[in-house]
Every structure is written in structure tokens, then in C-alpha cells.
Amino acid sequence: MRRILAICAIAALAAVACIGCGSSDKSNDGGATKVTPNEEQTTPTEEVKQVNEAALSPSATPAPTDTPTPAPTATPAVDENGMMLLCPSQYLKKRDGAAYGKFNHITYYSDYCKRDRGATVLLPAGYTEEKKYPVVYLLHGIFGDENSFAGDANLPVLIGNLVADGLSEEFILVCPAMFAASDDTAQAPGFSAEQMIPYDNFAHDLTQCLIPYIEENYSVIGGREGTYIAGFSMGGRETLYTIITYPDRFRAACAIAPAPGLVPGVDMFMTHEGSYKEEEVKFADGVTIPDKIIICCGTKDSVVGQFPKSYHNLFVKNGIDHIWYEVPNADHDMNAQYSGLYNFLQFIGK
């Protein structure tokens, strides 16, 4: 209920600000606020397929004219860094010969928050204690929780298909609840400076409590070598915050449509004090840092707008090596989310 109210609050704020003049739906999407321009709502899979196909196929052949017309051009499928701009729609469909895992809910004691906290875990379909697996921590959007990604039936399908095709190694996916409230911080998510603190604090809960719990209770490679982090929107922002704060703990990172607030800024939701000053967003000399960092965002993101691009510009300015790309025609939606994950999950073990 709290989640629905919170989503309504985002939609209302967006409407007041006159952006995304259409319906808003945040279900089943890892916390994504999906703003659909005045059109019938479709299932995520249909929506992804339609947008993917529109973006990938050449435009219809124009009627013949007297003057020669240039050949129609398709949106490039892959960029210069090897990023597939859209997740191919067949990766979101179940197929024979691939195995798909199921999410389980777990509880761990957070010594940081001094309370039990939840997470969901997606083990590889053939999980066995005889192997040691990498772990990907996947962070949800604002107002989400540990069940946000677990409610997305496409996610195990995408992962199973990537593994079946040998594009990803088998890995354990852990989806935490990010809002790491402790007694001295805000107790509910929202758009105020005070309510940003528990989100940022998750970096400490993750590194001090959740990662050790997972390493103790599952058969994992562990350490920096076997630990990856990614997130969507608020989860993208906290992915960036976490790797700036704990650069030597993660092998690779991916921030999909990262929300504002890592550094000072103002948007339609709030004034962001900034978790870091711009000049602090850098890695100290000699520190081990993630091998790969992706920042990506839809070209039509009506919620976080140009903030992801501004992070890209800041990373360039501060000399942080990373990959930046934009997802053609994607809003703050599943197309952006699956595109980022499709590319990022192929880094696992490489």
C-alpha cells in the first residue's frame, strides 16, 4: 500500500511538472516509473518487443519520387563499445533448452541497521555447492523493496537465456531492500534530504552485512573478484554512490537511468544537496577500482531526464573510465532496464 501511494506521489509530481502526459505504471518493473504517452497499456514483453522492433528495423520504403532518396537507415544496434542498444526481444522469451531460476526471499541480520532485513535471491537453475558463483547485487528504484525485481518474470528469463547462449556465466542475483533505515535516520522513503540518508546508508549495510551474509551462506567466489553491482534509477544512483565509496569491492558496475542526487542538483522532485561534491566523485590514485562501469539511460527518460548524462560528463571530467550509451526511444522504463542488464550481465566472469 505504501508503495502504491508513493508511486501515485511520483506520478502526481510528474503531472504537476507537466512531463510524461500519460499513464504511469510502476508495477513489476524493479521500481521503474513507466510513463507511457497516451496509449493503451501493454505487457512489458509486448512493449519491449514493439519498441525494439521499431528501433531496429529500417523505416518503411518511401513512395518512388523523381529525386533519388537515400537508403533508409536502421538505428545502429551496437555502439562502438559493443553495447547492444536494445535488449533483443528473444532474450525475454522462454525457450526450450534453457533453464530458469526462481526467486527466494531471505532475511539477514543487519548489524548496521540493528534489525532483520529482507532480500530476494535468484540462484542459477542448476545451483550446486560444488561450484563457486559470482554474485550480482541489483538495486531497485525509489519506493521499491526486495520484491521489486522478484516480481518481474522476465528477469529470470533474460538471465537463463544469456547463460544458455554462453553470453553470461552462471551467477547468483541478490536483490536487496535498499532503504537502510536505522534508528537515527528517516523511517520511510520520500523526496527530502533526510530521506536520502537511508538510501546512501545502504552502501554500508551492503558491504558490512549483506555481502558477508551471502558469502557465508552460499557457494560464491566472493571478494571483489566475484562481486558485481547494478541498479535502476534510485538503484543506479546508489550503484554509483557505492562504487565511489567502496571502489575496491566490486568487479564491475552498471547504473541504468541513475537518479539525481549523487552530486548537488535541482529537479522537479527536490533540491538535492548531493551525497558527494562533484570534485569528490573520483577514485584516489592507486586504489583498485571496478574493471568496467556502465552508465546508460533512455533517450526519452521523463523522470531522470539529463541527470544520467550529467554523471557521464562528470565521470569524463574527473577521469573515471566508463561506458556511456543511450537507449533509443526508451523512457524511464523496461527497455532501458533490460538494455542495461543485457549488456552488463555479459561482463560477469570476464
Which residue's CB is nearer to ligand FER, number 143 or number 218?
143
Q: Does 234 bind ligand FER (CB under 6 A)?
A: yes
CB of 232 to ligand FER, least distance (A): 7
Residue among 136, 295, 324 at smallest CA distance from 220 = 136
Q: Does 191 bind ligand FER (CB under 6 A)?
A: yes
x/- map, 102-141, ligand FER, by CB under 6 A: ---------------------------------------x
x/- map, 14-53, ligand FER, by CB under 6 A: -----------------xxx--------------------
Q: Does 189 bind ligand FER (CB under 6 A)?
A: no
Residue type, 216: E
Per rule CB under 6 A, count of chain residues that contact ligand FER: 16
What count of Cα atoms within 13 Å lies in the side-chain half-sphere of residue 254? 27
Which residue's CB is nearer to ligand FER, number 88 or number 190?
190
Q: Does 233 bind ligand FER (CB under 6 A)?
A: yes
Residue type, 43: T
Report the DSSP beta bridge partners of residue 36.
23
Q: Does 340 bind ligand FER (CB under 6 A)?
A: no
Which residue's CB is nearer to ligand FER, number 179 or number 191?
191
- Which runs of E-coded beta strand occur in 219-291? 227-232, 252-256, 265-266, 271-272
**Segment lying near ligand FER (by CB under 6 A), choices 17-25, 38-46, 219-227, 254-262:** 254-262
Q: What cell does 214 get? A: 551471502
CB of 192 to ligand FER, least distance (A): 9
**Segment lying near ligand FER (by CB under 6 A), choices 83-91, 245-253, 261-269, 280-288:** 261-269
Q: Does 161 bind ligand FER (CB under 6 A)?
A: no
Report the DSSP beta bridge partners of residue 265.
272
Residue type, 118: G
Q: Does 241 bind ligand FER (CB under 6 A)?
A: no
DSSP string, 21-62: -EEEE-TTSTT--EEEESS----HHHHHHHHHHHHHSPPPPP
CB of 31 to ligand FER, least distance (A): 5
d(CA 19, CA 2): 23
Burial of 125 (0-12, 13-18, 19+ CB in 10 A): middle
**Segment lying near ligand FER (by CB under 6 A), choices 67-75, 155-163, 263-271, 335-343:** 263-271
Which residue's CB is nearer to ligand FER, number 92 or number 259?
259
Which residue's CB is nearer to ligand FER, number 25 or number 215?
25
Torsions phi, psi for 267 (to 5 deg) = -135, -170
What is the number of H-type helices and E-type strands within the chain?
8, 12
CB atoms under 10 Å from CB of 64, counted, come to: 7
DSSP string, 118-139: EEEEE--TT--TTS-B-EEEEE
The DSSP code for 95 is -
CB of 166 to ligand FER, least distance (A): 32
> Which residues, other chains included, contact 14 with Cβ-Cβ below 8 Å and sequence gap of 6+?
20, 24, 33, 35, 268, 302, 303
**Segment lying near ligand FER (by CB under 6 A), choices 50-58, 154-162, 267-275, 279-287:** 267-275
Q: Does 142 bind ligand FER (CB under 6 A)?
A: yes
Residues lying near ligand FER in the complex (CB under 6 A) = 31-33, 141-142, 191, 233-234, 259-261, 267, 269-270, 303-304
